[in-house]
Amino acid sequence: MNDIGSFLQDFALVLCVAAVTTIVFHKLKQPTVLGYLLAGLILGPHVEIPLFAHENTVKTLAELGVILVMFSIGLKFSLRRLIRVIPTAGLTSLIEISVMMWLGYTAGEFMGWTHLESIFTGAIVAMSSTMISSKALMDQNQDEKLTRGVFGILVVQDLVAVLLVAILTPLAAGAQLSLSSLLMTSGSLLGFLGALFLVGYLVIPFIVRHVILLRNDETLLVTTVGLCFAMALLAQKGGYSVALGAFLAGTLMAEAGFTHEIERLINPLKDIFSAVFFVAVGMLVNPNALVQHWRAILLLTLVVIFGQVISVTFGAFLSGRSLNTALRTGMSLAQIGEFSYIIAQVGTAHGNVGGHIYDVVVAVSVVTAFTTPWLIRISDPMAEWVDSRLPKPLQTFTSLYGSWLESLRHGGNEETIWNKSRRLVRKLATDGFILAVIVISTAATIDKWVPDLQKFLDLSVLGWHILLITAGFTLALPFLIGVFRCARMLAGLIANSAIPTVAEGVLDLGQAPRKALSITLQMGILFAFGFPLMALTQPFLPSGYSPAVFAVLLSLFGVFFWKNAVNLHEHVQAGAQMMAQALSHREPAKREQVMEQVNTMVPGIGAPQSLPIQRDSPAVGKSLADLNLRSRTGASIIALMRGEERYLMPAGKDTIEAGDVLVLVGTQQAIRSAKELLQKNPSI
């Protein structure tokens, strides 16, 4: 059969088998992505079914799917929107990637894999799948805010993945990683992306605006897809990912302002080739490898699911997301995918990483592709379940944390805070970098130094090890103290800006929330620097060393955090009492005046708002547990007035009746969402 005949046969087989399996899964009300994976298993070389598609052809078509999906994601991010989402997505990604690389390396060591294999395992499990998560989110019509946050994290992950591939390639070939090569690789990546973006910014929006004026869908489709593949080709020629070039093309086209027209035209193409991508993933599944390496597959699947959910949730919450949104974001990213395959291929291509790694990666990817749609589907009830079982102090804290960060953004303090904290951030980064260099240098060279040092002083190997470790620790101690001091000062600066201090000698009623915010920010800053430090130093330190250090620090922070959370809860209770007294005034004008006074007297509880419950409200007759307002909206009810009765910090069993007046706290968006939920007419 000639080449065109073979291609047509493969393409027809893929689409026809995928159509049948997805129809079956649709009838069973299951995610369509599972049907695509089953189609790949049927067409693959590892299952004895008289249907077979050539793997290379399907892989080529799947690459087109990756390009088109990344292009469509880029269309959702104009330059301004991308810049706006990068800080929060960057913090979340920094924590997630560091935690997952640390966990992956530890898991590799636990399974007895080599040092290099463990390093590759850490990099593999740190990357989520753009294709799987985007497909699952779109199939289930998740809200735009969640989707944008997930895509922002995926973009940062893809940038880091490109850097990791460049770093790990010489390692797989047997080279030693040096600081100079790392800096050169990072610099070349940023330089290439900057040049590509600058050229694209001058050309692509200009072309799109002129093509739009022709009002011809066919011309617009051909032009935009052509520009997309041109940018992908340029990225590939530069030695980087085609997905990165396609995303950049989408972002630049979004600058032209006609994203809806382009999306409408490109969606059918994207759906076809993204389906082929998942079929290609299914074709890689080897049932024999599943049986042979089931322990490794099970362990890494658990590491990916639980590690991603916890690390992403923690990072997203620290960046200002509500607990509900943060948890849903984590459950949307609990899988591995495209770049994980690339990293595994880089390792196995040179023979220094065992081929079993690739089999395990494919199996974990398929398993997590199956679990991701289910995790997204249950993310809402799971968030409600977690929230309802948090202790009261933690519930109070999660409701107010977002409002504190919101006060910084809306108060116009962000630029001022950044100007004041720039020196602290530079010193923190410098101390952390030097600390990492000292730890890595000491651990990496200690065995080389001992034989030479024994020639000068007859001391046992153990004695020299203890002496050198002590010397390294002594040298690192000032920088370690500097990291803690900078974190404390930076957290204090931000907390004081969010909840201003009072003059000396005046009763400070904002002390409890300010301390709670400060300890949280200290914990976040130290973890944001500590997790990358652990990920970098883990390969050079004895097994179990960094987990032990982390456990100790987490325990200490946990004790301080809990104490401050309890004090915060008591502070809010006092505020709720004063709010209830304010609501007892019959005159609305007097009531609002007293409410404003309470906001001033009891700072740190956001901007509480009162809400009367009308007779036609859908909340009438329901308990607070049934409404689950905090989990669904992020707002909390701190007081409930019913005639002359006052309920402070009402419990879940309390019901809402017509005529009740509620006091809500939380971010402005959370309170708006709560009002929409509690009122029949949101405009009331």
| Domain edges within the chain | 3-389, 401-574
**Phi and psi dihedrals of 240, rounded to 5?**
-120, -175
pLDDT band at 313 (very low <50, low <70, confident <90, very high): very high
Percent of the chain at pLDDT exceeding 70? 88
Helix (H, G, I), strand (E, B) or coil at 647: strand
- From residue 593, alpha-carbon distances to 346, 401, 610 in Å are 66, 26, 12
Pick the more confident residue, 679 or 218: 218
Residue 38's SS3 state is helix
The C-alpha atoms of residue 82 and residue 86 are separated, in whole angstroms, by: 6
Q: How far apart are CA 281 and CA 58, in angstroms?
A: 10
Predicted confidence (pLDDT) at residue 176 exceeds the cutoff of 80: no
For residue 324, the one-letter residue type is N
CA atoms within 13 A on the CB side of 181: 11
Residue 38 near residue 282 (C-beta atoms within 8 A): yes
Averaged pLDDT of the chain:
80
Give the CA distances from residue 62 to residues 98, 148, 193, 274, in Å, rounded to whole numbers and listed in that order: 29, 24, 24, 7
- pTM here is 0.81
Q: Which range is most confident: 67-71, 464-468, 547-551? A: 67-71
φ/ψ region of 215 (left if φ > 0, alpha if ψ in -120 to 50, else beta) reads left
What kind and span of H or E run contains 536?
Answer: helix 511-537
Spatial neighbors of 282 by CB under 8 A, at least 6 apart, are: 36, 37, 38, 39, 40, 41, 42, 43, 44, 366
Nearest Cα to Cα of residue 673 among 402, 295, 394, 395? 402
pLDDT digits (tens, 9 = 90+) for 277-307: 888 878 877 788 778 888 999 999 999 999 9
pLDDT of residue 182: 63
Residue of higher predicted confidence among 84 and 317: 317
> Measured between alpha carbons, how far is 251 from 80 in angstroms, rounded to an integer?
10
CA 233, CA 578: separation in Å to the nearest integer? Answer: 64
pLDDT, average across residues 47-63 = 78
Say which CATH architecture domain 3-389 belongs to.
Up-down Bundle (1.20)
pLDDT of 654 reads 79
The structure tokens listed for 510 are 């904002």
Average pLDDT on 435-464 reads 73
CB 269 within 8 A of CB 217: no
- Do residues 528 and 94 make contact, with C-beta atoms less than 8 angstroms apart? yes
What pLDDT shows up at residue 597? 63
Residue 579 in tokens = 């709010």
Rounded distance, CA 297 to CA 362, Å?
9
Lateral strand order in the sheet of 636-642: 609-612, 661-665, 636-642, 645-648
Range with the poorest average pLDDT among 346-350, 490-494, 661-665, 674-678: 346-350
pLDDT of residue 262: 87
Residue 419 has pLDDT above 90, yes or no: no
More confident residue, 651 or 111: 111
454-513 tens-digit pLDDT: 667 667 767 777 777 788 788 888 888 888 888 888 888 888 877 777 666 666 777 888
Residue type for position 79: L
CA distances from 532 to 95, 377, 409, 546 (A): 7, 31, 27, 12
